[in-house]
Structures are given as structure tokens and as C-alpha cells.
Amino acid sequence: MPGAVAPTLAAASSSTAAASSLAPNPTARGDPLASRPCRIAAPAPLVPLAATSRHVHGCRGAPAPLAVASPHQARNPRLRFAAAAAEGMAAEASTADAASAAQAKPFAVLFVCLGNICRSPAAEAVFRNLVSKRGLGSKFQIDSAGTIGYHEGNKADSRMRSASKKRGIEVTSISRPIKPSDFRDFDLILAMDRQNYEDILNAFERWRHKEPLPDGAPNKVKLMCSYCKRHTESEVPDPYYGGPQGFEKVLDLLEDACESLLDSIVADNASISA
């Protein structure tokens, strides 16, 4: 009926107009979709795995919901076993890496006397010579220092260098004072006499209040002559104010102590002899 069609068309036209008045106009000023780029939605809350297959509506690039195990999966013994196995493998890998790093680190030895120009540089040279003869150079870090910095930057005493050279030992170190990092970097610190021993420990006590140092560092400090086997002296005497025989005596003690010292370190550290 013509009369009935007119109202229907009018209603449709009115409905279309209403719908168009509600739809956003991309070209209109102030329209939020036109004036601003599409924002990434905030991460959705955790949902069961089953929900992740649903289509995510909205702005392109919106993150999909994070997946977590459903209660059924959490109770599944196979899944629990797989997770535990993965954690175990990760822990084993971490332990292996730590062990490998420990083996790769050279064993560090520091020799210390008063000024680092006579006894400790000679001890460094004697020990380095023994290590080299056994083919263990890559397994060690060897250095020397003094409890004072008076001779810092100087070569070893010429008399000590000359006496050592007669025995086929080159003394090449440059004097430096002991420093806080030595208590972290070295595994063993050898004092030439008791006064050196006390000065090293006193330095540690001063420095430990200023920066972090290992609590067990004092246990690293030993008397050089405690490793002697052929000599009964308890200290390596300072030859600085004596004659040539004093330097020869120092070398005799150091060769005895260093040989025993190297044997001890190798026996206690399987990675060094490997």
C-alpha cells in the first residue's frame, strides 16, 4: 500500500540519520580517532591459555593477553616434570659456568717486603722462574709490592738484580706499594718478615672500614719462610744495608721457600696441574 510505504521509508531515513549522527567523523576537528594516533592498549590481565585463541579487537598492535597455565595443565604431571627438568638444567648450566670461570682464573700470588726493591721482587722473579720451568705460566698471576711507597716506580736494587742474574733469574718488577684491591685480587700474600706481616694486617684493618674487602683476607697472609724445607730461618732478612753475601742468603731462602710454595699450591688446586 502506497500509504504504508511512506511511513516505513521515513522511519528508515530517520534511523539512518540518527545512526550517522552517532558515528565519529574522521574529518571533523577534535575527533579523537582523527587527531591522535592509535594508542596501544594497556596489557590485559592474565587469562587461561584457552582464551588466547580469541580474536583481539580494537587498535592494530594491541597486545594479546598473556598466557598462563590452566588448572588442568598445572595438575598435569608431565607438564610439572618438564618444568622441573628445565629448571634443573638451568641450575646445572649456571653451576658449570661458575666452575669454569673459577678454573679459568689464574692463581694469584703476591710477595711483600718493606720497599719492594730487594726481597719481594726477588721472590717474584724466583717464583716466576720456577712456574715457567714447569710450564704453568698461564695458571698463575704473580706480583710483588711493598708496605711503603717510598721507592714506587723504581727498579729493584741493582745488587739484587746482579745476584739473581748469576743464577739465571731476571728481576724485572717495578716497585709499588700494597693497595686495598690486593686483598681481593690475590689468593695468597707472602710477607718476608714478621714486621711486614703485621703491617699488611694493619693495612687491611684500616682499609676494610673504607671499602668492601673480603672478611677472610687476613687468612691469605703467610710468612715466606713458613714454606722453607732446607732452612730453619723464620724470616727473610733485609739485605739492603749489608754486603753481597746478604743478597746471596736471601736468594737461598727464596729458592727453598718458592719451590715448596709451588708444590703446595699445585697439590691443593687440581685445576693448576691439569
Q: For residue 140, what is the enclosing H or E element?
A: strand 140-146
Residue 236, judged by CB atoms within 10 A of its CB (0-12, 13-18, 19+), counts as buried
Cell numbers linked to 66? 598473556
Burial class (CB in 10 A: 0-12, 13-18, 19+), 28: exposed
Instruction: Label residue 10 left, alpha or beta by phi (over 0 means left) and psi (-120 to 50 means alpha).
Output: alpha
Q: Confirm whether 238 is a catalytic residue.
A: yes
Catalytic one of 119, 182, 225, 258: 119
119 is catalytic: yes
Write down the residue that cell numbers 721457600 correspond to.
Answer: 257
Please name the residue that has the C-alpha cell 711503603.
Answer: 148
* Residues 175/151, Cβ–Cβ less than 8 Å: yes
Q: Is 113 a catalytic residue?
A: yes
Q: Catalytic: which of 143, 157, 238, 256?
A: 238
Count Cβ atoms within 10 A of the Cβ of residue 106 and give its class: 0-12 exposed, 13-18 middle, 19 or more buried.
Answer: middle
Choice among 113, 118, 228, 258 that is catalytic: 113
Catalytically active residues, by annotation: 113, 119, 238
